Amino acid sequence: MDAQDQYGTGGAVRRLFLVAGAAALTLTVGLVTPLNPAPQRAEAENGKRVLTVAVAQSVDSLSPFLAARLVSTSIHRLTYEYLTNYDPKDNHAVPGLATAWKPSADKLTWTYTIRDDSTWSDGKRVTAEDAAWTFTTMMTDEGAATANGSFVANFEKVTAPSPTKLVIELKKPQATMAALDVPIVPKHVWEKVGDFSKFNNDKKFPVVGNGPFVLTDYKTDSYVRLKPNKSFWRGAPKFDELVFKYYKDGDAAVAALQKGEVSFVSGLTPAQAAALKSRQDVRVNDAPGRRFYALATNPGARAKNGERFGDGHESLLHQKVRRALFMAVDRRTVVDKVFQGHAVEGEGYIPPRFPEYSWKPGQDQRITYDPAGAARLLDEAGYRKNGDGRRVGKDGKPITYRVLCHATDPQDKAVGQYLKEWFGDLGIGVSLDCRDNVSDPWLAGEYDLAFDGWSVNPDPDFVLSIHTCGALPATPEDTGATDNFICDKKYDALYERQLAEYDATRRADIVKRMESRLYDTGYMNVMAYPNAVEAYRTDQIASITTMPEAAGNIYGQDGYWSWWSATPAASDGSSGGSAQTGVIIGIVAGVVVLAGLGVFFAVRRRATTEDRE
C-alpha cells in the first residue's frame, strides 16, 4: 500500500496489497536486457546503454489517477513532476515543479511559484494551469480521486492566476502542503479523457510527461520502456534507456545478475544476499528500510453507506480475539528465522527509520509473545475448544482462518508456516491463500487475515489516512482508499488533529497517539521492519544514489534520484559516459523557508509499495 509500497507504499487510494508486495518486489537492473534478444544485441553493438529493472510485480495502471502498486507509482515519479521533491540526504522538501511556496497568515491559502523552464515532452510549456486542472479534477471526479484523493479532500479551491502562479485555498489548515505527492499531468492531453475510473493511459505512446524520463512503450505483464527526457530541467539521465521488466521468479533475476545479464537486484532473501556478498563484482546494499511487514485482520468489510460485505470470520470483530492472535505471534522468531536478522522487530506502525514519528509501546502496554495468555483471552471471548481440541465459532464450526498471501513472496509463505504452528497450538486452523493477484479478494473483503505492508514516506499522512472511515468505499461496488476496512472514530479524530497541526513536535505527538490506538485495537500486528537488501554489479553501475544517502535504499525511493543519477560503468563498449557522483546537492535554492511554521515538511508514502508504494 509511494506511501510508496508497496509494498507499498506510500496516492490515496487503496495501495493495499496491490503494492504490499514491495518486499517481494524483486528488482533487477541491467545494461542489456533480454526482452528481445536480437534487437538488444544490436543496441549493445551501437553502444546503447540500457538499464533494466526486473520487477516481480505487474503494472496495475499507467494512469496517475488510478495506480496503486509500487512499480506503477515508481514509474510515475520518473515521468511526471510533483510540486515538490525531497532531498535524498535528509528528506526535506526541495523544488520540483514549484520553485517556492508560502502560506497566508491564517495558513488557509498557499501560493506556489511554478518554474518557467519545464516543458512537456511534446514541446508545450508546463504552466500553473496544468497543476490547477490536475487538482481540481481530483476534487470533482471520484474516478480521478482514486489514487491520491486524500491530498485534496481538504481543498476548497485551486486556481492559476498566471502561468507561474498556483493558488490553493483550504477549508482548514493542512500540514502536508509541501508534501503533496501527486503527479501533475498535462491538461491539454488529459482533459480529453472521458471516464477517469477506466482510462489506463496505456494505448498511445510516447506518453506526454515532464519528468526525467519519457514512457515510450508498454506491454501488459511484460515490460515498460522509458527514455531520457533530454529537456528535463534538472538534466537528463545518463543511461540511454530504462526498462522495467516483469519477472515472476526472483531466483531467475539473481541468476541473471550473477551472469552479468542484469546489474541490479532488490528484495533479496537472506540466502541470496549471503551468496552475492562473496562476489568481487557485486556490491550488496543492506540498509534500514522504509516499510513495515504486518499481519492485518479483516474487521468486517463495510462501505461508507454502512452496508457490510465480504465474508471475514465473525470472531475477528472481537478485540479480545484480535489481541489473542497478536499475543500468539512471536515477532522475534519472524526477525531471526524468516528475515535472518535483516530486519528489526516490529512494534509501532511507522518504522524507526523515521525517528520523529516512530512509536514504541510502554512496558505496561507492550503485547508480548504469550501463548497461554492468548488462550485465556479466547476463552474469555467465548471461543472455547471442543472435544477435538479445536476452537469453535458462534456457528459451532471449528475456526480456520484464511490468510491471504503473495504467491511470489517467500517471506509470506515462511511466516505462514509459523502461523499454522502458533495458531494451531491455540486450536485454530490456518489456510494459506497465496495468489499472484491478491487485490480482488482484498477489495471484496473475502479474507480473514492478510500479510500487509506499506512503504512509509517521511511525512506519514498517507499511510495514516488509509485507516480512516473516510477511506472506506462509498458502496460495496466501489473501490475505496482503505487498507483493510478499519473505521474507528477515536482514530479519525486524532487523524484530523494531526493534519491541521503545523507545530512539528505537537504533530508528531498526535501521530504517536494514533499509532498507539492502532496497536491497542489489534487490527494491525506489525511484525517486522525489513531492511532494504539489494545488490548491483560494480562493473555495470559506477554510481547510484541511495536515499537517505548515508544509509538508504536504491529502489522505491521518495523521488527519482536512483534511476536519474545512475551512472554507467565504463567497463566495456556498451557503457561509457562521464562520471556522476550520485550525490545531489544545491537543489534547495529557491525554497521559501517557512520559519514561522516551525515544521519539517517531507513527503508521504505506495508504498509504494512494496509497496504498495
Mean pLDDT of the chain: 86
Tens-digit pLDDT profile for residues 394-416 = 999 999 999 999 988 889 999 99
What number of CA atoms fall less than 13 Å from residue 14's CA on the CB side? 25
Q: Domain limits of the chain?
A: 41-56+212-288+532-570, 65-71+79-199, 293-530
Q: Are 245 and 52 in contact (CB under 8 A)?
A: yes
Q: 4 pLDDT band (50/70/90 cuts)?
A: very low
Most confident of 2-11, 182-191, 541-550: 182-191
Most confident of 520-524, 568-572, 597-601, 602-606: 520-524
Kindly state the average pLDDT of the residues 227-242. Answer: 95
The residues, ordered by sequence, that sit 6+ positions from 122 with a Cβ below 8 Å of its Cβ are 186, 189, 208
Residue 182 has pLDDT above 90, yes or no: yes
Q: What are residue 604's DSSP bridge partners?
A: 459
Tens-digit pLDDT profile for residues 32-52 = 333 333 333 334 435 788 888
pLDDT of residue 54: 76
Other beta carbons less than 10 A from residue 345's beta carbon? 15
Which range among 297-301, 321-325, 523-527, 605-609 shows the weakest confidence by mean pLDDT? 605-609
pLDDT of residue 176: 95
> Of 187, 232, 188, 197, which Cα lies nearest the Cα of 85?
232
Q: 571 pLDDT band (50/70/90 cuts)?
A: low
Kindly state the average pLDDT of the residues 284-311. Answer: 95
Tens-digit pLDDT profile for residues 465-515 = 999 999 999 999 888 889 999 999 999 999 999 999 999 999 999 999 999
Cell 535528509 belongs to 90
CATH fold for the domain made of 293-530: Dipeptide-binding Protein; domain 3 (3.10.105)
pLDDT of residue 603: 31
| Grid cell for residue 51 | 538499464
Tens-digit pLDDT profile for residues 53-110 = 877 778 999 999 999 888 899 999 999 999 999 999 988 999 999 999 999 999 999 9
Look up the CATH architecture of domain 41-56+212-288+532-570: 3-Layer(aba) Sandwich (3.40)
Looking at per-residue pLDDT, the higher value among 28 and 223 belongs to 223
Q: 598 pLDDT band (50/70/90 cuts)?
A: very low
Q: Is 535 helix (H, G, I), strand (E, B) or coil?
A: strand
pLDDT of residue 518: 97
| Grid cell for residue 574 | 556498451
- Helix (H) / strand (E) containing 253: helix 250-259
pLDDT of residue 589: 35
| Exposure letters 526-565 (e unless 16+ CB within 10 A, then b) | bbbbbbbbbbbbbbbbbbbbbbbeeebbbbbbbbbbbbbb
pLDDT of residue 311: 96
Determine the Cα–Cα distance for residues 103 and 220; give it in Å rounded to an integer: 43
Residue 8 has pLDDT above 50, yes or no: no
Sequence letter at residue 288 = P
Parallel/antiparallel/unpaired status of strands 429-435 and 400-406: parallel
The residues, ordered by sequence, that sit 6+ positions from 488 with a Cβ below 8 Å of its Cβ are 467, 469, 517, 521
Determine the Cα–Cα distance for residues 351 and 594; give it in Å rounded to an integer: 27
pLDDT of residue 159: 98
Looking at per-residue pLDDT, the higher value among 352 and 584 belongs to 352
Residue 347 has pLDDT above 70, yes or no: yes
Residue 26 has pLDDT above 70, yes or no: no
Residue 264 has pLDDT above 70, yes or no: yes
Kindly state the average pLDDT of the residues 177-187. Answer: 96
Tens-digit pLDDT profile for residues 378-391 = 999 999 999 999 99
pLDDT of residue 161: 98
Domain 65-71+79-199 matching CATH 3.40.50.2000: the answer reads no
Residue 175 has pLDDT above 50, yes or no: yes
